[in-house]
């Protein structure tokens, strides 16, 4: 279904999974606005999307955990039809690795920023009778990943948010869903693979084989696979899907 003329805000849209969502939406003619901290990465991403897809792409360099800076951006942006909520992941570590300040910081990046953006964008979507919220989370929504206590504890809250938005807004044309990626080959994961090669003294193929041993599909995910799913959920064809968490993980949590 064409999304030509619709406007999408993509948080964390300069790289990785956020960029893959932006690209899938651009392919369908959406006008885009990207957020991330690095202006250089945003410029590069926006220029590529404009050239490759001929759509309008704006951006703001902003730290989404900075409430007032983010609010200035949202106020200037005006209404959007589609929100892709996304941010860098919380730090790795088990229960005894973190103090309460770490929990506060993870809450700000993983939950509070999504709530703030939804507060600005969702009520106007409902007023116009059409809107889509797609939140990028993790398989930690459905299963506790060893050594990822912050993600395991906080990301399920996003599903509660999507379900609550569904209860309050679905009858006004707004849907809210989660995408829960398993291991997907973004630059961030590539850096982890390279680090593991060094630490474990293994080849790239050996490290990837270790990572994918528990994935029935037998491989890492591709960012564009998540992007295409986001674009589907953001389309007219997905109007009856809301409050769901979709696991894009090659069957890892099957
Ligand atoms: N890739 C995977 O295998 C995988 C698996 C499960 C879950 N996830 C989760 O999916 C999300 C995206 O992952 P990814 O691999 O695409 O990560 P990524 O490549 O590191 O991209 C993260 C994006 O968010 C932006 N960002 C990070 N912190 C920000 C902040 N405070 N304010 C504004 N923008 C910020 C980054 O740009 P700047 O750095 O310039 O700000 C970048 O555009 C993460 O939450 C990750 O934990 C990923």
Write out pLDDT tens, residues 60-98. 999 999 999 999 999 999 999 999 999 999 999 999 999
CATH number of residue 141's parent domain: 3.40.50.720
Within a domain: 252: no
Within a domain: 29: yes
119 lies in the same domain as 207? no
226 lies in the same domain as 154? yes
pLDDT value, residue 19: 98
Within a domain: 158: yes
189 lies in the same domain as 143? no
51 lies in the same domain as 170? yes
Three-state SS at 83? strand
**What range does the domain containing 202 cover?**
185-220
Q: How far is the CA of 127 from the centre of ligand 1 (A)?
A: 31
Three-state SS at 73? helix
Q: How far is the CA of 172 from the centre of ligand 1 (A)?
A: 31
Judged against a pLDDT cut of 60, whether residue 3 lies above it is answered with no
Split into its structural domains, the chain has a count of 2
> Rounded mean pLDDT of 131-142?
98
Within a domain: 2: no
For residue 5, name the pLDDT band (cuts at 50, 70, 90).
confident
126 lies in the same domain as 49? yes
The four Cα atoms 61, 225, 178, 69 give a dihedral, to 10 degrees, of 0
Query: Is 181 in contact with 138 (CB distance < 8 Å)?
Result: yes
pLDDT value, residue 1: 41
Residue with CA at minimum distance from ligand 1 atom 24 = 12
Q: What angle do CA 217, 223, 227 make, to 5 degrees?
A: 110
Per-residue pLDDT tens for 211-220? 999 999 999 9
Average predicted confidence (pLDDT) for the chain: 97
Three-state SS at 30? coil
32 lies in the same domain as 103? yes
98, 108, 112, 146, 149 from 101: Cα distances, Å = 8, 11, 15, 21, 14
Residue with CA at minimum distance from ligand 1 atom 45 = 89
Within a domain: 253: no
Within a domain: 254: no
123 lies in the same domain as 212? no
Residue with CA at minimum distance from ligand 1 atom 34 = 36
25 lies in the same domain as 145? yes
Within a domain: 143: yes
Q: Which of 13, 89, 154 to probe ligand 1 with, by most ligand atoms within 8 A of CB?
A: 89
pLDDT value, residue 4: 60
109 lies in the same domain as 164? yes
User: What DSSP line would sit under 110-170, residue for residue?
Assistant: IIIHHHHHHHHHHHHHHHHT-EEEEEE--GGGTSPPTTBHHHHHHTHHHHHHHHHHHHHHG
Within a domain: 1: no
Residues with CB under 6 A from ligand 1: 12, 14-18, 35-38, 41, 63-65, 86-89, 109, 136, 138, 181, 183-184, 186-189
138 lies in the same domain as 102? yes
85, 125, 136, 156 from 115: Cα distances, Å = 9, 15, 13, 14
Output the pTM of the full model: 0.97
20 lies in the same domain as 132? yes
Only one residue has tokens 């593991």, namely 196
99 lies in the same domain as 215? no
Three-state SS at 38? coil
Instruction: Output the six-digit token pair for 168.
Output: 């309050």
């Amino acid at each position: 279904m064409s999304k030509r003329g619709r406007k999408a805000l993509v948080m964390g849209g300069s790289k990785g999974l956020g960029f893959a969502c932006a690209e899938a939406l651009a392919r369908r003619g959406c006008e885009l606005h990207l957020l991330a901290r690095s202006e250089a990465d945003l410029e590069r991403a926006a220029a590529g999307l404009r050239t490759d897809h001929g759509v309008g792409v704006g951006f703001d360099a902003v730290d989404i955990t900075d409430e007032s800076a983010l609010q200035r951006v949202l106020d200037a942006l005006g209404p959007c039809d589609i929100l892709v909520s996304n941010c860098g992941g919380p730090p790795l570590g088990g229960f005894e690795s973190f103090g309460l300040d770490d929990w506060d910081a993870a809450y700000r990046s993983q939950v509070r920023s999504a709530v703030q953006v939804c507060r600005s964008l969702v009520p106007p979507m409902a007023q116009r009778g059409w809107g889509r919220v797609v939140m990028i989370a993790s398989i930690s929504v459905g299963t506790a990943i060893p050594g990822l206590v912050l993600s395991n504890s906080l990301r399920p809250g996003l599903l509660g948010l999507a379900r609550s938005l569904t209860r309050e807004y679905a009858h006004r044309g707004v849907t809210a869903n989660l995408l829960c990626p398993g291991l997907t080959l973004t630059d961030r994961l590539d850096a982890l693979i390279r680090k593991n090669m060094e630490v474990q003294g293994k080849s790239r193929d050996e490290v990837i084989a270790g990572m994918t041993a528990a994935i029935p599909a037998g491989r890492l995910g591709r960012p564009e696979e998540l992007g295409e799913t986001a674009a589907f959920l953001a389309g007219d064809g997905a109007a009856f899907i809301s409050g769901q968490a979709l696991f894009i993980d090659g069957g890892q949590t099957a």
